[in-house]
Amino acid sequence: MSQVKQYILENIDKTVRYNPVGEGTLIGLPKPYNVPSIADHFQEMYYWDTYFLNRGLILAGRAEQAKNNAENMFWLIEKYGFMPNGNRTFYLHNTQPPFLSMMVSDIFEATGDIAFLKRAYTVLEKEYAYWQTERATPTGLAQYRGNTKMATDEGMFRGFLDRIGARPTGHTDAHLSCQYVAQCESGWDISPRFGFHVEDFVEVDLNSLLYALETNMARFADVLQKPADAWRGRADARRARMNELLQKDGVFYDYDFKNGRVSDLLTCASFYPMLVGLMTREQAAATAATLPRLETPYGVAVSDGADYQGDYRYQWQYPNGWAPLHDIVARGLLRYGYKKEAVRVAQKYVALVERNFAAHGNLWEKYNVVTGAIDVMQEHEAMPPMMGWTAGVYLDMLALTAQA
């Protein structure tokens, strides 16, 4: 057993918290839940982080704890009408990428729990309604969005300026506050993907995840003996609209619907349609052909090496490599038969984590995939060690490397 795997198995339970009664900004949850870090930073449950951590929990024989995490999300959706960024009151102004249906799928596959699936189905209907109403656009596709009133009231623009290091000209405080919240909702906080106009875009990753939600709901409906045709129709309509607006030469990108243009920024987000099975074989081949622009000696970078940064600093930018994006790229490639490439990406991530664990005795939330170290593009003074999705993806990629 690798030292990293042993470390994870010995320490992952130290990230479990149980706070049924809220205190201060912390929202109490009915079940024990995992936080990303053993101590100090990130002492709350986060939405999309938990999906990747849960994959590791299932592989580590802790499917019941993965189910606890999902059931806490059910409770939050029932209480607030959507899944907040995390269980803090200051996260009630935004959600995060909707991975819950995929989380449910993983847990049901591991447990076969029909009662869990029935409860999940009802909750996922509510989450889907949120995205279809609160995050709808005239294109028929959804977008990440900021909450203008709450962002302005809480002065989010100050955090935004602190993170990017310079103030963009020609933008009000209210606009910058909203940009900050919207980029946090995307999970890519902060990224050059959208400039300072997130609300102009419909995003490839978000709509791929909603396609996955629709296809998963059709599959869950079949299991539960419910009508499934409407879900399949919604998925087909979304795929058609994404093909119409978001793809260029077989590759899917974010789409600026306000200006009628497909983004020219290549990022790992282009692999989401591959992950969820939305692509044709020809589109998968075109997307796989972009891998050399993102792959480095130590993994895959958020984006290609082109200079999209300008005068600003972004942590979701080359040369940073993040755990979830390695998982998405590798499993997307594997789904379409690119096994050699998928295993190679997985092996690089495993080696990257092991290399830095040997040097520092910790797991980290992100890595520099050009140097193979932790000298990352950073928005804060210090990068905290983190178990979270790094542990989950390490275990997932370690399992994938066994297919070599």
Q: How far apart are CA 275 and CA 227, in angstroms?
A: 25
Contact 115, 223 (CB under 8 A): no
Give the CATH number of the domain where residue 318 resides. Answer: 1.50.10.10
Single-letter amino acid, residue 353: V
Q: How far apart are CA 179 and CA 194, in angstroms?
A: 9
In this model, does residue 266 exceed pLDDT 60? yes
Domain residues for 338?
3-401
Name which of 39-43, 207-211, 347-351, 394-398 the model is least confident about: 39-43
Q: Locate 246 and state its tokens.
A: 């978001």
Taking alpha carbons only, the member of 313, 324, 271 closest to residue 294 is 271
Contact 151, 181 (CB under 8 A): yes
Spell out the residues 6+ positions from residue 171 whose beta carbon is closer than 8 angstroms to its own: 179, 196
Contact 377, 319 (CB under 8 A): yes
Single-letter amino acid, residue 329: V
Dihedral pair phi/psi, residue 21, rounded to 5°: -115, 125
> What total of structural domains would you count in the chain?
1
- Give pLDDT, residue 374: 94
The per-residue pLDDT for range 314-344, each reduced to its tens digit, is: 889 999 999 999 999 999 999 999 999 999 9
- Cα separation of the two ends of the chain: 17
Q: Locate 295 and state its tokens.
A: 């792959």
The per-residue pLDDT for range 346-389, each reduced to its tens digit, is: 999 999 999 999 999 999 999 999 999 999 876 556 677 889 99
402 C-beta neighbours (distance < 10 Å), count = 8
SS3 assignment, position 303: strand
Banded model confidence at residue 85, pLDDT cuts 50, 70, 90: very high
155 C-beta neighbours (distance < 10 Å), count = 14
What does the pLDDT average to over 115-131? 98
